[in-house]
Amino acid sequence: MATVASEALKEPTQVSGLPVLGNALDMAKDPGRFFYDCYRKYGPVFKLKVMGNTYTVLAGAEAANFMGTREGRDSLRSKEFWQGLVNEWGAKRTLTGEDGETHQKLRAVMKHGYSKESVKGRYDELVTITDQVIARDWPVGKLVPVVQNMQYIVTEQLGAMLTGTSPREYVADIRTTILYILNILVTRQRPKFMLKDPRYKHAKERVSELGRRMIAEYYAGKDQRDPERRNLVDDVMEAHARDPDLIPASDLILSLTGPFVAGLDTVANTTAAFIYAVLKHPEVHKRVLADADALFARGTIDEADFRNLPAIDGAIMEAMRVYPIAVAQMRTATRDFAFLGHRIREGELLYVATAVPHYMHEFYPDPDKFDIDRYAKPRAEHLKPGVYSPYGRGTHTCLGKTLAEVQMALSMARLFYDLDLELESPDYELQTKVLPTPGPSMKFKVRVKGRRH
């Protein structure tokens, strides 16, 4: 792509918008659909204005593929978008904001702790945690807030599995901290003065306290840690001792509380979308229940059981296609480069809109239909290059992907096994939110009709 003569390159079209807000309102309604509409109208490269900043959007399957190429790796970096978070915590760096060699080293340190290997053989434990939270937060006869309840399930699971600490009494603080940080410092859709809000300051202090507690507990029990149950805390703390330049003391809290930032909204929003879509489609609901009942009929679960959940897996994949939590990845151009005949200049802020193909009939026939059989062979519609990117693309592709897959399959199987759920009314249509991460509205509720098991 860089071989096009520089004078032949086009300038990306500026999408028209309001004088001050620019395209912020369109983005605020439904960023995924907005990027898709712009792609249809302006092609794979266009410019947006959002709250005074100009962004160049690279959209579609070509853009998704570009992120995984050598040229893409050399032309894009993540630093600017995460620097505010790093500064806010007085840290030196964070995994998501690094590129190149340091990023590779950090990924290598955290790879095991973030993978499904970290939960291998602990599925029954995961079920017990899930049951406890369900018994507490999903009372029979009540309408319950789905996203919030899923946030509690996710956080307790991640705490126990990845860090060995149940952060139960910190969940509300983790949620508040993430909300402020993503809105204000990462996506920059809220003004900076909001960081002075005492509610945020208190919540952030509590998350620091959780981090300090994790570090203190690690040092206190360092010699008795079970090698069979190594987790992210062991990996990060040992890497800190071995290579304090790579992970200095200033970065420990951010690194150890990272799983909550990475997993909370992503898994909670996706599973909430799953719950809506499954309840909205009775024939899918029936198949999900059959998968769940078969999974738990044997009493104990092992690795192989996860390969035999066709309806649940299909519904998770379809929830991530139709309701992607990452409609675009935010980057900065590290140098001048050409993309599909357009000039991109060093320093430009970029959105790489990798979810645009999710809505395209060229790749997904009848794209608005929630069709859980798209992914099984021979159809396998998602396997065309660049058309399915729920976990991002390129060097920063989700490090927790395999873990998230297990976590979501198990949580959805258990929830539907335990409970008889229904939408508020059969004609209920899902309301969505955009901040801090796109997904179902916090107001989305379901009724717990009864217990199935």
Considering only residues 321, 358, 396, 414, which one is a binding residue for ligand HEM as defined by CB under 6 A? 396
* Nearest-approach distance from CB 438 to ligand HEM, in angstroms: 11
Specify the residue, 204 or 396, whose C-beta has the smaller distance to ligand HEM: 396
Number of residues that bind ligand HEM (CB under 6 A): 26
Considering only residues 207, 311, 399, 421, which one is a binding residue for ligand HEM as defined by CB under 6 A? 399
Specify the residue, 261 or 419, whose C-beta has the smaller distance to ligand HEM: 261
Considering only residues 23, 56, 96, 255, which one is a binding residue for ligand HEM as defined by CB under 6 A? 96
Considering only residues 398, 419, 421, 446, which one is a binding residue for ligand HEM as defined by CB under 6 A? 398
Using the structure block, give the residue that is written with the tokens 């993540």: 78
Burial 47-85 (b: 16+ CB within 10 A, else e): bbbbeeeebbbbbbbbbbbbbeeeebbebbbbbebbebb
Specify the residue, 40 or 111, whose C-beta has the smaller distance to ligand HEM: 111
Distances from the Cα of 9 to the Cα of 3, 45, 94, 309, 343, angstroms: 11, 12, 35, 49, 5
Q: Does 292 bind ligand HEM (CB under 6 A)?
A: no
Considering only residues 22, 44, 159, 259, which one is a binding residue for ligand HEM as defined by CB under 6 A? 259
How far apart CA 186 and CA 214 sit, in angstroms, is 25
Residues 181-240 that bind ligand HEM (CB under 6 A): none
* Nearest-approach distance from CB 259 to ligand HEM, in angstroms: 4
Q: Which stretch binds ligand HEM (CB under 6 A): 186-194, 257-265, 332-340, 355-363?
A: 257-265
* Nearest-approach distance from CB 391 to ligand HEM, in angstroms: 5
- Closest-CA residue to 305 (of 295, 313, 315): 295
Q: Which amino acid is at 56?
A: T
Specify the residue, 176 or 407, whose C-beta has the smaller distance to ligand HEM: 407
User: Looking at residue 420, what DSSP letter applies?
Assistant: E
How far apart CA 152 and CA 86 sit, in angstroms, is 26
Both tokens of 319, joined, read 């929830």
Specify the residue, 103 or 285, whose C-beta has the smaller distance to ligand HEM: 103
Using the structure block, give the residue that is written with the tokens 């430009």: 348
Q: Which amino acid is at 291?
A: D
Q: Does 267 bind ligand HEM (CB under 6 A)?
A: yes
Q: Which stretch binds ligand HEM (CB under 6 A): 27-35, 237-245, 288-296, 384-392?
A: 384-392
Considering only residues 390, 438, 439, 440, which one is a binding residue for ligand HEM as defined by CB under 6 A? 390
How far apart CA 306 and CA 295 sit, in angstroms, is 8
How far apart CA 333 and CA 342 sit, in angstroms, is 13
Both tokens of 435, joined, read 């901040």
Distances from the Cα of 253 to the Cα of 229, 304, 362, 385, angstroms: 21, 35, 45, 38
Considering only residues 181, 326, 327, 406, which one is a binding residue for ligand HEM as defined by CB under 6 A? 326
Q: Does 151 bind ligand HEM (CB under 6 A)?
A: no
Q: Does 325 bind ligand HEM (CB under 6 A)?
A: yes
CB 363 within 8 A of CB 357: yes
Q: Which amino acid is at 210?
A: L
Q: Does 85 bind ligand HEM (CB under 6 A)?
A: no
Q: Which stretch binds ligand HEM (CB under 6 A): 223-231, 255-263, 307-315, 333-341?
A: 255-263
CB 178 within 8 A of CB 85: no
How far apart CA 57 and CA 350 sit, in angstroms, is 6
CA angle 100, 241, 177 (to 5 degrees): 70
Specify the residue, 48 or 330, whose C-beta has the smaller distance to ligand HEM: 330
Specify the residue, 23 or 329, whose C-beta has the smaller distance to ligand HEM: 329
Summarize as ranges the residues that interact with ligand HEM (CB under 6 A).
Answer: 78, 95-96, 107, 114, 158, 259, 262-263, 266-267, 270, 320, 325-326, 329, 390-392, 396, 398-400, 403-404, 407
